[in-house]
Each structure stands twice: as structure tokens, then as C-alpha cells.
Amino acid sequence: MGHSSAVWDHRAAIELIKDWNGIDQVVLRNPQGASARVSLHGGRVISWRNDLGEELLFSSSKAIFKSPKAMRGGISICFPQFGNCSSIEQQGFARNKIWMIEDDAPPLLKNDIRGKSFIDLLLKPGEEEPKCWPHGFELRLRVSLASDGNLALISRVRNINGKPFSFLFGYHTYLSLSDISEVRLEGLETLDYLDNLCQRERFTEQGDALTFESEVDRVYLCSPNCIAVLDHERKRTYVIRKEGLPDVVVWNPWEKKSKAMTDFGDEEYKQMLCVDGAAVEKLITLKPGEEWTGRLELAAVPSSFCSDYFDPQLK
Ligand code: BG6
């Protein structure tokens, strides 16, 4: 028997399990059979499956599941930095910490509960907090799975310090693809980008959708809030919507870099693309008591339905 959204109890649709390191994972399910799995190690979404049980996020077969190292794949929460340009660890420390489940998270401005199974997680500075980033913060993450199988991540950063602080943020998202050479990324045409492979030099993208033939590591600036990744072979389109996140980071290590990474298979670059909703070009600054929110919503739809779904009005 199906559940109507009015009576759908999100608590009945979540399960707590332990991974092989004894760290809690939360499994979210919707009535149609889609699921998402979130690890308290990093607040990382490590799996997102559609109602056919197909995995939609890439995880490396060589991924290392050992705290405190972040595992390669899924969606990691990059905070308070993105990239590797300060004394804080690459992509920030949040993804290497153990988060906690928050039973009574403060309400969100938008109603994000109805018809969804969700979990609220919280990260606060611990006693052995990094000296390189000595700020009082609360980082909240709601991961929700909707009845249509869409996955949403809502992050809130609150300044509970007496002084302002600044940070960068990103949802480092490994999409699972059939073959990178069959993939198009739409929505970033004509934008300016910083090329991490050329000392962050600024270029302007051509008028065509992006296709991939070599290593890419770029920060697209002032991007639209809806972009799409089309996987022609699988006839699947990922629609990525974001709010509060002006940039999109696009990364594929390609052949040479793949071989140099110990936690990544030599050929795995063909089956993935990172497309990250992020705020990386400009620091976000919060005064004492202020809160920032950044949202990401992912849909995986058959490409034939996509022209209706990918509505340019929403950009
Ligand atoms: C990209 C960055 O987003 O992620 C790259 O722009 C980085 O510079 C890559 O190498 C991989 O990051 P990670 O943390 O998954 O190894």
C-alpha cells in the first residue's frame, strides 16, 4: 500500500546502521523504493539510489573507509574551505569529522518536510578544534529524500562566536556516469571560469555545452541555479538545482592523475564527473548570531523527460 504525502512519517523511513568502523550511517527510503545513505563520518552522502535500485553517485572501488580520511566518492561537505589554498586540510575539515544526529534542529524557513524522509545532522567545534580555524560555529545539514526520489541537502552555518568569521563551502558531488566521453554538461555556456590547471587564470566558456576529452578542474563563476548533466548512453539526466551557491566546480582527473591517486582506479575517471554547487570564489562572512543557508537538490530523470524538467525559466 502506498503512503500519501500527508501521512508519510519520515521517522518510519529511516534506519540507523553501523559501518565496518563502527560509525553510524543513516539510510533514508521513500515509498517507491529509492534510498540514500548518509555517514556520520563527514555528513557524507555515500549512496543515492533510484526506485530501480540503480546507484546514482560514484564511489571508487579503491576508496579508503578509514577515519579521519575522507572516502573518495558520494557527496562531501566542504567547509570551511574548498580546495587546498590555506593551512586547513584540503576541502576543509568538516568532511573528516564525526557529526551527530540532531533530533530537534531549529526549523527551516522553507517547509522541507512534507512527503520526505530526512535526517538532521550537526557539527560543532570539539575540544581538539583546529588552531588554524578557531571559530565558534554550528554547521547543520539536512539530507532529505523526496517521494519522487530527488535528493536535497540543506546546509546552515551559524556564527555563535563573539567575532565575525569567513568561510568557503561546497557540495563535492561525484556523479556516476556510463562513459565520460558520452556526457554533456548544460547551463555553464558563456560563463567565466577560473582554471585550476592554469594557476586559476580566468577564461570565458564557449557557447556550447561542455563535453570532456581531458583533465578538467574549473570554477565556473556566477552560474545559473539550474544545470544539467546528460548521460547519453544511459539516457539519464542529472538536474542540479542550487541556492546560495554562486559557483560550480567541475572536476575530472582523467588518465594521468587517476593513476597517481592511491584511492582511485586507473580507469575510473571514465565513470564519474564531479559537479559541485559551491561558494568558492568569494568568502562568505557571518557576523555574530548570523546564519547562512546553501541548498543543493539533485534529480536523476530519463533524458526523454528532461526537456520539460530542465526549464530555462528556472535558471
Ligand atoms: C575538485 C577540486 O573539486 O576536487 C580539485 O577542484 C581536487 O582541485 C578535486 O583535486 C578532488 O578532491 P578530493 O577532495 O575529492 O580529492
Kindly give the confidence (pLDDT) of every residue in the chain, 315 residues in length, as a single tens digit, with 9 standing for 90 and above.
344 444 556 656 789 999 888 899 999 999 999 999 999 999 999 999 999 999 999 999 988 877 667 789 999 999 999 987 667 778 889 999 999 999 888 888 776 677 789 999 999 987 766 677 889 999 999 999 999 999 999 999 999 988 999 999 999 999 999 999 999 999 999 999 999 999 999 999 998 899 999 999 999 999 999 999 999 999 999 999 999 999 999 999 999 999 999 999 999 999 999 999 999 999 999 999 999 999 999 999 998 765 555 554 444
Residue 2 lies in a domain: no
Q: Which atom of ligand 1 is nearest to the CA of 72?
A: 15
Residue 261 lies in a domain: yes
- The Cα 122–Cα 202 span in angstroms is 36
Q: Which residues contact 301 (CB under 8 A, 6 or more apart)?
A: 236, 237, 239, 309
Residue 90, marked binder: yes
Residue 3 lies in a domain: no
Looking at residue 299, which CATH number applies to its domain?
2.70.98.10
Q: Which atom of ligand 1 is nearest to the CA of 70?
A: 14
Peptide bond into 302 cis (omega under 30): no
> Which residue, by CA, sits nearest to atom 4 of ligand 1?
251
Residue 190 lies in a domain: yes
Q: Is 251 in the pocket of ligand 1 (CB under 6 A)?
A: yes
* Of 275, 299, 47, the residue nearest 180 (C-alpha): 275
Look at the block and give the residue holding cell 534529480.
299
Q: Which of 90, 193, 250, 281 has most ligand 1 atoms within 8 Å of CB, for mutation?
A: 90
| CB 159, CB 44: distance < 8 Å | no
Residue 214 lies in a domain: yes
Look at the block and give the residue holding cell 522553507.
110
**How many structural domains does the chain have?**
1
Domain membership of residue 251 as a residue range: 10-309
Residue 19 lies in a domain: yes
Q: Is 230 in the pocket of ligand 1 (CB under 6 A)?
A: no
- The Cα 141–Cα 137 span in angstroms is 13
Q: Is 231 in the pocket of ligand 1 (CB under 6 A)?
A: no
Residue 242 lies in a domain: yes
